[in-house]
Structure 1
Amino acid sequence: MAESLIVLDPQADKSLQAQIREKIIQGILSGSIPAGHKMPSSRRMAEQLGVARNTVVLAYQQLVDDSFLVTRERSGFYVSDAVQQQGIISHAEAVPDSVASEPDRAFWREHCNPVSVSRRALRVRPANWLQYPYPFVSNEYDPRLFPGAEWRECTRDIYAGREVAQWATLGGNEDDRQLVEQICTRLLPRRGIYVEPGQILLASGLQQACYLLGQLLLGSSRTLGMVLPACNETEEIFRRTGVALQSLPQDSDGPMTGAEIRRGDCWFLQPNAHNPTAVTTSLERRRQLLKLANEQGAVIIENDCDHEFCYHSTPLPPLKSLGGGESVIYLYQFPKVIDPGMQLAFVVAPKPVIQRLRALRYNLRERVPAINQRLLAKFIASGHHDAASFRITQQLRERWVALGEALMHHLPKLQVRRASCGTACWLELPQTLSAEQLQKQAEQQGLLLEVAREYNALRIGFAAIEADRIEAGIAILAQLINGEVSQSEETLQNATGRRLSAADLQAEFPGAVLLGTNALGESYRVQVMADGTMFGYARNDVDVDETDTGRWWLQGDMWVRQWRNWSYGRKASFHVVIDGHRIKWFSETGQLIDTGILARESE
């Protein structure tokens, strides 16, 4: 009987010994292998399963050690009677299938209160998303980035006798002092924030922190200002408090300081990289928001997540660290790639606020498990957190750069927002193209994309896909987009303006200056020299200058250029049309690629 219940998977992560043990335990607890049943001999079991006899012997011995099996001299292994004495319900005692019918849905509808969930929150990606060739998903990471060896080392350390005595005796609403100390002395000072332990509260994720703050600060008589669309779960949590949500407009510098934001009693801001639109709030706008909050008497809830993944020198300072930051409540959640199993977060606020939040958390009985707190404290104290953050940032920067290059090369006509922090960008589509339909077509070709249906936009993540696969995926996306967009846009055949011949190009381009904005919203300036060289200059979203050199030449009536680094260093050929000062670039097949301004140094 026992051997017929066991099916081994040689490809599984678990050893054959562990699989045998688990299958036998499952059979015992379910009643399929009853108490007192004589187990097959180790030799017979090994023959039936096609494994070494020693594998079965070791599995049996561990089951004896755990009291699932007992040995009888010269008789063999038997299922222990103690299992049934512990109250396990056997198959014979279970309710027959005919009685355990499908519950009456009408009965439960009468007893359950209505629950509403954002439709966006219910959209789930395929369970096997990591097996897709091009997983451009956000909030997920390549498992190879995870610092597994470092976590294993810390796990061994915290199970030492002295360590267990410390974390296992924490009170029901107490936070681990070692972890709070690491946050105060190691993490926050790097963000320019200096607080005492009594100003920190741990939470089991950003969602719990937002729930606690919503219960404390918001309600039907309050107005919360936040940029929409927002993170699905966060927006839903705040809505459930009954607060009136005020949508805040934003531009490339962040939330705007107009009439809308002045109506809010409280503002929820994500300065580093707004989720999902990937806007980084400029330093000057941060100062303006703080000044306005102090004038209005408004409270700011600042989500400072993903600041460690900064791809341009040092990240901008959080609102909490700037002058006037006393009205700011600071939130931070450890990145999923560093602690995917815990997702621990913390709140920084004045002591009276923390005391009230602690009381609310006690009522929920959802304190972060003590073992998780001590494990994370050990991980930070050992330097593993810093080392992992640095290493992961370097790898993510490669992907960030690769994605930016791919989007500029393959989709130069569309505007992309790519924050200086975070792990995703925001691509708004033309109104003639359905983001939802594009998502379905892309998935059929191995691309997983996230859609903001209400805004006809895509959120393209780059943390779960290798850098060398990014361009191939974006090339497929570009084919799908261009196939739809090109049907309604200007082409070389119907373009307004004057098409330049080889003679025109030779006369117009030497000494010219090309001005424009690329797909990432970066302004560029290109000098075209008479000797066939080019000098390119661009300024990105955090005012960091980027330069490159290249060369240009003519091929028939087409203008050809090749940069040393930009656009992967590949040559590209264009038909050129001039319409006043406006210049239009068309591909060899006549598709509109980009537009800009043709000027000269004297202009």
Structure 2
Amino acid sequence: MAQRLDAALWKQLLQHGARQHQGLQAQVRAMVVEAILDGLLPPHTPLPSSRELAQALGVARNTVVLAYQQLADEGYVQPRERSGYFVSPDITAGRVRAAPAVAQPSAALPPSRRPDWPARFKQHPSALRSIVKPADWQRYPYPFLYGQFDAALFPTADWRECVIKTLSVVDIRDWGPDQIMRDDPRLVQQICSRVLPRRGVWASPEEVVVTVGAQHALYLLADLLMREGTRVAMEEPGYPDARNIFASRTSMLRAVPVDEAGLPVGEALAGCDYIYATPSHQCPTTVTMPLERRQALLRMAQEQDFVIIEDDYESENRFDGDPFPALKSLDREDRVIYIGSLSKSLAPGLRMGYVVGPAELVAELRALRRLELRHPSALVQRAFALFLSLGHQDSLLRRQAAAWRDRAAAVLTALARHAPACRVVPVSGGSSCWVQLPEGMDGSELAARARERGVLIEPGEVFFMTEPAPRHFVRIGWSAIPLPAIDPGIAVLGELLRQR
């Protein structure tokens, strides 16, 4: 019979398997499961009695009894009368055992060698210039990063309510099966009736497809519409991920410098097939395209026969009045493909976006999405549908706009006080500002030195397609930094600037 594990090892296993926010019973169960699946407890190994294990771990005996009963119900252990619990021989049955050592090849066989993987790559996405943020950014005291999660603003109770309702028996039967090409009809209905009308856009369900975030929407559009030779105009500076996605399909990208009103309408757009633009909240400068220029852009699209890809991010969080209607709201000729995000304001990790376009385009996007991932999580779609229908999204946007307005004012005030030599593009909404450093300053160098002092900012050169890219810009965000931390964080930047 297999030997029992001693008390010291059980304590180590419990500490290793401990999970935050788990009760002791759940931790004991997880400890035994991990020990079984990792091979520390082979089949037929006897477990300590509930009294012995409770004493070894320093927990109540009833905690161990309930954990053992659950493990027995799940088939991990088997009770034997008057003998206790033993590891079930069935739980690891059918597993592939470790491969035996391979004998040396005979002289008749060619020598073994690995494939030359780098030579096989048709592209190198890891080498692209992209926005980079530290994985442990939450440890830093002054994270002036754009688009990051703020737990203080997350509506935990509201989201938990929606997820719990989504886990009802009736709902599980609805979203549990493979949806193939379909989206949750309740979510699509909410997008059509609650989300899009706020932007002046009206669409039918056949004109909406749900994506795994707005970035996935861009990838689908590039895959469907672009090939080598396709001519695409982009804002300069602009969104790096859109640039990288489009560049994976065509080398014919055209950088069009933006001005104080966003993307200019003129000869630079002539001859293009697609125009990518962020008219409501230009990335990264934050400027808004006025109505007259939007109308001129649509007229030119008609005359030149190009299509506009409108990325409408952060458009609802304006500080100085009602948001501009989306460019799509002015479109009468199906010249605009509209991309939006549901998760950016709630929690970026949820990854939920959508595309609005003509029905024939959406049908092809659905078919293409099926080849990639079939459909976004049906559970998350249903939870989002409930979140929208119960008005939680509207409440969140109001609270978020108020918080971001206060933080924006604090950032601008602190920059004026501690870094008066910097030029800041006027801010009318959103969660970041575009800052021009004094002549000769390098944004990447400043960001590196600031990180050493606990301050995280984003160098601006990554937003430019032109090489060599201008290096005297940075982006400063406030979506994830508490209000009291803003002034001392900007003070550190001001000190570093003065040292230069």
> Is the shorter-chain TM-score for this pair beyond 0.5, marking a shared fold?
yes
2:296 aligns to what SS in structure 1?
helix
Query: 1:324-335 alignment to 2 at 5 Å?
Result: 324=332, 326-335=334-343
Match for 1:3: what amino acid?
W
- C-alpha change, 1:124 and 1:254, in structure 2 (3 Å) is closer
Q: 2:490 aligns with which of 474, 478, 481?
A: 474
Quote the residue 1:284 is aligned against: 292
1:130 aligns to what SS in structure 2?
helix
Task: Judge conservation of contact 1:204–1:366 (CA < 8 Å) in 2.
Answer: no
Give how far 1:104 is off. 6.1
Greater RCO (Cα-Cα under 8 Å, separation 6 or more): 2
Distance 1:418 1:19 in 2: 52
2:275 aligns to what SS in structure 1?
strand
Quote the residue 1:488 is aligned against: none
Quote the residue 1:580 is aligned against: none
Quote the residue 2:74 is aligned against: 66
Percentage identity across aligned positions?
36
Quote the residue 1:228 is aligned against: 236
Task: Judge conservation of contact 1:8–1:20 (CA < 8 Å) in 2.
Answer: no
Is 1:424 equivalent to 2:432 in the alignment? Answer: yes
Distance 1:117 1:418 in 2: 34
Stretches of structure 2 that go unaligned for 5 or more consecutive residues are 105-111, 462-468
Q: 1:108 aligns with which of 117, 124, 137?
A: 117
Quote the residue 1:8 is aligned against: 15
Match for 1:482: what amino acid?
R
Is 1:55 equivalent to 2:50 in the alignment? Answer: no
Q: 1:166 aligns with which of 156, 162, 174?
A: 174
TM-score by length of 1: 0.74
Give how far 1:199 is off. 0.9
Match for 1:6: what amino acid?
L
- C-alpha change, 1:4 and 1:307, in structure 2 (3 Å) is same
Q: 1:255 aligns with which of 242, 255, 263?
A: 263
- C-alpha change, 1:104 and 1:255, in structure 2 (3 Å) is farther
Q: Which has more radius of gyration?
A: 1
Q: Deviations over 1:511-544 (max 9, x none)?
A: xxxxxxxxxxxxxxxxxxxxxxxxxxxxxxxxxx
Q: Deviations over 1:315-341 (max 9, x none)?
A: 111101125563111110113341434
Distance 1:372 1:302 in 2: 25
Query: 1:143-542 alignment to 2 at 5 Å?
Result: 143-169=151-177, 171-322=179-330, 324=332, 326-453=334-461, 454-456=469-471, 457-484=473-500
Per residue, is there more strand in 1 or in 2? Answer: 1
Match for 1:472: what amino acid?
P
1:255 aligns to what SS in structure 2?
coil
- C-alpha change, 1:231 and 1:323, in structure 2 (3 Å) is closer
Distance 1:244 1:437 in 2: 31
Stretches of structure 1 that go unaligned for 5 or more consecutive residues are 485-603
Match for 1:255: what amino acid?
L
Distance 1:96 1:314 in 2: 70
Distance 1:170 1:359 in 2: 15
Give how far 1:36 is off. 0.8
Deviating more after overlay: 229-238 vs 191-200: 229-238
Provide the aligned C-alpha RMSD in A: 2.4
Task: Judge conservation of contact 1:294–1:324 (CA < 8 Å) in 2.
Answer: no
Distance 2:438 2:180 in 1: 54
TM-score by length of 2: 0.89
Query: 1:37-52 alignment to 2 at 5 Å?
Result: 37-52=45-60
Give how far 1:114 is off. 4.3
Distance 2:47 2:178 in 1: 44
1:308 aligns to what SS in structure 2?
coil
Give how far 1:383 is off. 1.2
Give how far 1:267 is off. 0.4
- C-alpha change, 1:441 and 1:339, in structure 2 (3 Å) is closer
Give how far 1:111 is off. 4.7
1:222 aligns to what SS in structure 2?
coil
Between the two proteins, the alignment pairs up a number of residues equal to 477
Per residue, is there more helix in 1 or in 2? Answer: 2
- C-alpha change, 1:264 and 1:419, in structure 2 (3 Å) is farther
Distance 1:325 1:148 in 2: 42
Match for 2:396: what amino acid?
A
Q: Deviations over 1:304-359 (max 9, x none)?
A: 12122222221111101125563111110113341434221111111121122222
2:228 aligns to what SS in structure 1?
coil
